[in-house]
């Protein structure tokens, strides 16, 4: 019997493999590689999850070796101890062969019992926590984490993150410095420290002489940010290549679903089926790795250059004369064909996305967004939102623009607020009364309460708006939104500044953020500084930025982790090794923020960024998480009414 299910009545013993989501880190200069996590996870994996459905065969449950070729196995049995023994035998038999990855599901008849569940628990459970999606990108893959944390107040996911961070430190060493901003970030920090104290106490009472943590740390610092600290960035339309793929098609766990006609390599396009096909998007695709973080305006020219280079390589076959030259060309031919296939895929995707970006509605929507973040909220743009509602454009787009207006204005004036609430409810349905309340609770769409709007001061202090952005040769992270720099990444820049440059970009100053290079390498000219100054320059800190931090929601903190003897844990890295900072987003991060951090890592000579996030999000998915529950409940009620 082959199937898969997720009913709450079932107990499951399953596993998943993440080894194909990552590959070897190509950067020899970096002192940290996600390969460490991948190899560690591989040892724990026992099965492979799948999503196929259908019954193929029926067997009697009995003892002995059970050889079967299927993806999922469903047990229907009485809740008896002997049955649990048979099932665990089957699982252990198949777990010895990773190629026979089977998902196991158990239905108890007539009911499940606690003793049977306990037997299965004693057999062990697999904790899938940190999933390496790419060389520098890790994810917890906790869908709807923003809704859980900031709407429902459910901190369960923070416990999962804390457990994952503690496990990470047992692999790569204690992270000496932790700073953060936001209520959830502070909660996570406290939970992490509590879990570490418990682990060390249990270890002290054991007879084990093996140290809990490696002597040297691979990660120098951890910066934790709540999504609620920067609600503006995800509401903006992403303008990098990968960001626009996410906006147009949606990317899930590095995979995008495309029409087969876009990815088919047959010249006979008439016979290509139009079924959706999953395509991986990661650094294994060298062309994608080259263009993923570029502004979309640049991508077409790059693809043209690659096409000419591949064509020239193909033409090289006419120059081969000797046997050795023929052998060399044949050796290159496989790579050339692979490059050609990737080029064709990205050319097709680029053409489809270009049609999307050339649409007048898209450009008007983008114009209004860019004016909002620049602080221009004229009546004409507010009228544009009214037109969107009247034209019944997607509620996600409407809410994104309203949320952006609310965020940059410190709330919407009472009269306009009530007007928009009435228009949305009358146009999109009365069920969205709850949706609007959800948006208000998380701070996305709220009535102006008379308090001072802090966004203008934040915009000026962090220089969020940069004029004359060079999208072809960018020197600032603002290129990812064609002139707007994400608040979240600007804060990370601030924290990574050397101590002698702190606070230089507060209102009234001018040049600090003119180029990214000057931000993060301003200490490189101070070659006469002693080692202490050099260490301080590489430490992350909020010092000097307190005035800016006060303008943003949530508490900020700085902590130094110590080893068991209470002395500060200093990393003993070679001075020539690049420093590594882990950036943790609670509530999701966007692909443009990831691109911004990669840009900083490329510009700076002594620091790498490893990104860990609860999930990858964008404006549509974030808004969807706040309205999906209403939609699903109504759909369920409708189905019940139809069945009566």
Confidence band for 31, pLDDT divided at 50, 70 and 90: low
| pLDDT (tens digit per residue) in 430-479 | 999 999 999 999 999 999 988 999 999 999 999 999 998 999 999 999 99
pLDDT at residue 69, as a whole number = 72
Q: Which two tokens stand for residue 466?
A: 């940069």
The answer as to CATH 3.40.50.10540 being correct for domain 241-269+278-358 is: no
Among 303-317, 401-415, 423-437, the range scoring the smallest mean pLDDT is 303-317
pLDDT at residue 1, as a whole number = 40
pLDDT, greater one: 180 or 602: 180
CATH class of the domain at 1-128: alpha beta
| pLDDT (tens digit per residue) in 143-161 | 889 999 999 999 999 999 9
Q: Nearest Cα to 16, choosing from 125, 123, 92, 119? A: 125
- Helix residue ranges, H only, 359-412: 360-373, 379-390, 395-409
Average pLDDT over residues 72-86: 84
Cα atoms in the Cβ-side hemisphere of radius 13 Å centred on 374: 15
Which of the residue ranges 28-32, 379-383, 448-452, 585-589 has the most confident prediction, judged by mean pLDDT?
585-589
- Please give the mean pLDDT across all residues of the chain: 81
Q: Which two tokens stand for residue 12?
A: 């499951």
d(CA 555, CA 549): 8
The residue extents of the domains of the chain are 1-128, 241-269+278-358, 361-452
Helix-helix angle 432-442:414-428, to 10 degrees: 140
* Rg for the chain, CA atoms, rounded: 27
H or E element at residue 582: strand 579-586
d(CA 644, CA 640): 6
H or E element at residue 436: helix 432-442
The pLDDT of residue 165 is above 70: yes
Average pLDDT over residues 316-321: 66
pLDDT at residue 89, as a whole number = 82
Burial of 386 (0-12, 13-18, 19+ CB in 10 A): middle
d(CA 253, CA 280): 9
Residues in a beta bridge with 584: 224, 612
The pLDDT of residue 512 is above 60: no
pLDDT at residue 528, as a whole number = 41
Average pLDDT over residues 575-583: 84
Place of tokens 């910066």: 223
CB contact set of 44 (below 8 Å; sequence gap of 6+): 15, 126
pLDDT at residue 530, as a whole number = 41
Average pLDDT over residues 206-227: 88
pLDDT at residue 574, as a whole number = 60
Average pLDDT over residues 322-348: 78
Q: Nearest Cα to 592, choosing from 140, 227, 246? A: 246
Q: How many CB atoms lie within 10 A of CB 122?
A: 10
pLDDT at residue 27, as a whole number = 44
pLDDT at residue 149, as a whole number = 97
Average pLDDT over residues 256-279: 72
Confidence band for 538, pLDDT divided at 50, 70 and 90: low
- 361-452: CATH number: 1.25.40.850
Per the document, the length of the chain is 644
Q: How many CB atoms lie within 10 A of CB 429?
A: 14
The pLDDT of residue 278 is above 50: yes
d(CA 290, CA 292): 6
Confidence band for 206, pLDDT divided at 50, 70 and 90: confident
The pLDDT of residue 26 is above 50: no
State the SS3 of 115-163. Answer: HHHHHHHHCCCCCCCCEEEECCEEECCCCCHHHHHHHCCCCHHHHHHHH
Q: Are 490 and 478 a contacting pair, CB within 8 Å?
A: no
pLDDT at residue 392, as a whole number = 95
pLDDT at residue 78, as a whole number = 80
d(CA 147, CA 153): 8
Which of the residue ranges 37-51, 375-389, 505-519 has the most confident prediction, judged by mean pLDDT?
375-389
| pLDDT (tens digit per residue) in 490-499 | 999 999 976 5
The pLDDT of residue 6 is above 90: no
Work out the angle at residue 29's Cα, subtended by the Cα atoms of residues 27 and 33, and round it to the nearest 5 degrees.
55
pLDDT at residue 311, as a whole number = 82
pLDDT at residue 379, as a whole number = 86
540: phi then psi, degrees, rounded to nearest 5: -85, 145
pLDDT at residue 60, as a whole number = 81
Q: Is the dihedral of CA 456, 459, 462, 466 positive or negative?
A: negative
CB contact set of 616 (below 8 Å; sequence gap of 6+): 139, 246, 251, 588, 589, 590, 591
The pLDDT of residue 415 is above 60: yes
Confidence band for 239, pLDDT divided at 50, 70 and 90: very high
> What distances in angstroms separate CA 413 from CA 56, 180, 561, one per listed residue?
61, 32, 45
Q: Is the dihedral of CA 360, 365, 366, 368 positive or negative?
A: positive
Q: Nearest Cα to 233, choosing from 477, 469, 549, 550? A: 477
End-to-end CA distance of the chain: 32
pLDDT at residue 49, as a whole number = 35
The pLDDT of residue 429 is above 70: yes
- Percent of the chain past pLDDT 70, that is, above it, reads 74
- Sheet containing 607-613, strands listed edge to edge, beginning at the edge strand earlier in sequence: 131-134, 137-139, 607-613, 579-586, 221-226, 177-181, 556-560
Which of the residue ranges 352-366, 557-571, 591-605 has the most confident prediction, judged by mean pLDDT?
352-366
pLDDT, greater one: 178 or 43: 178
Average pLDDT over residues 31-39: 70
Confidence band for 509, pLDDT divided at 50, 70 and 90: very low
Q: What is the pTM of this model?
A: 0.78
């Amino acid at each position: 019997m082959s199937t898969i299910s997720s009913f709450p009545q079932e107990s499951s013993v399953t596993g998943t493999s993440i080894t194909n989501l990552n590959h070897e880190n190509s950067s020899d200069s970096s002192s940290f590689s996600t390969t460490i996590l991948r190899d560690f996870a591989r040892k724990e994996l026992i099965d492979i999850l799948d999503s196929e459905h259908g019954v193929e065969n029926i067997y009697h449950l009995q003892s002995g070796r059970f050889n079967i070729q299927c993806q999922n196995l469903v047990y229907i049995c009485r809740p008896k101890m002997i049955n649990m023994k048979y099932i665990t035998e089957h699982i252990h038999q198949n777990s010895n062969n990773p190629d026979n990855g089977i998902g196991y599901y158990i239905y108890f008849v007539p009911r499940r019992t606690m003793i049977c569940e306990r037997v299965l628990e004693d057999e062990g459970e697999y904790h899938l926590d940190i999933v390496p999606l790419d060389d520098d990108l890790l994810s917890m893959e906790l869908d709807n984490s923003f809704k859980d944390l900031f709407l429902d107040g459910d901190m369960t996911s923070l416990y999962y993150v804390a457990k994952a961070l503690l496990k990470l430190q047992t692999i790569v060493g204690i992270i000496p410095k932790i700073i953060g901003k936001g209520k959830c970030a502070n909660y996570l920090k406290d939970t992490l420290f509590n879990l570490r104290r418990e682990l060390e106490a249990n270890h002290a009472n054991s007879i084990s002489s093996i140290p809990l943590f490696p002597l040297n740390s691979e990660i120098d610092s951890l910066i934790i940010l709540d999504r609620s600290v920067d609600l503006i960035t995800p509401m903006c339309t992403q303008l990098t290549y990968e960001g626009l793929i996410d906006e147009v098609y949606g990317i899930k766990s590095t995979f995008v679903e495309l029409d087969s006609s876009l990815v088919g390599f047959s010249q006979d396009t008439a016979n290509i089926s139009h079924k959706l096909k999953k395509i991986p998007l990661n650094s294994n695709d060298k062309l994608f790795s080259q263009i993923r973080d570029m502004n979309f305006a640049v991508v077409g020219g790059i693809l043209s250059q690659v096409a000419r280079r591949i064509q020239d390589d193909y033409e090289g076959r006419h120059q081969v004369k000797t046997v050795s030259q023929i052998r060399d060309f044949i050796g290159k031919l496989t790579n050339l064909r692979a490059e050609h296939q990737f080029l064709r895929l990205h050319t097709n995707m680029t053409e489809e996305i270009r049609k999307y970006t050339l649409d007048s509605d898209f450009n008007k929507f983008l114009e209004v967004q860019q004016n909002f973040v620049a602080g221009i909220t004229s009546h004409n743009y507010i009228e544009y939102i009214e037109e969107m509602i009247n034209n019944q454009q997607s509620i996600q787009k409407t809410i994104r623009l309203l949320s952006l207006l609310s965020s940059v204005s410190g709330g919407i004036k009472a009269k306009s607020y009530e007007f928009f609430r009435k228009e949305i409810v009358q146009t999109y349905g009365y069920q969205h009364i709850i949706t609007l309340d959800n948006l208000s609770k998380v701070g996305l769409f709220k009535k102006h309460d008379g308090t001072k709007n802090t966004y203008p001061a934040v915009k000026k202090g962090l220089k969020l708006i940069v004029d004359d952005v060079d999208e072809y040769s960018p020197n600032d992270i603002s290129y990812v939104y064609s002139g707007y720099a994400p608040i979240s990444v600007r804060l990370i820049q601030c924290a990574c500044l050397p101590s002698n440059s702190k606070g230089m970009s507060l209102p009234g100053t001018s040049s600090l953020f003119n180029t990214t290079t000057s931000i993060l390498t301003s200490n490189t000219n101070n070659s006469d500084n002693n080692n202490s100054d050099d260490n301080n320059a590489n430490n992350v800190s909020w010092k000097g930025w307190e005035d800016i931090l006060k303008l943003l929601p949530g508490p900020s903190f700085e902590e130094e982790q110590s080893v068991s003897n209470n002395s500060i844990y200093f990393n003993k890295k070679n001075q020539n090794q690049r420093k590594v900072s882990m950036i943790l987003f609670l509530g999701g991060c966007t692909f443009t923020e990831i691109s911004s951090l990669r840009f900083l890592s490329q510009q700076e000579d002594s620091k790498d960024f490893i990104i860990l996030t609860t999930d990858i999000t964008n404006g549509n998915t974030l808004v969807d998480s706040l309205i999906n529950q209403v939609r699903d409940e109504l759909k369920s009620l409708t189905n019940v009414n139809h069945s009566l």
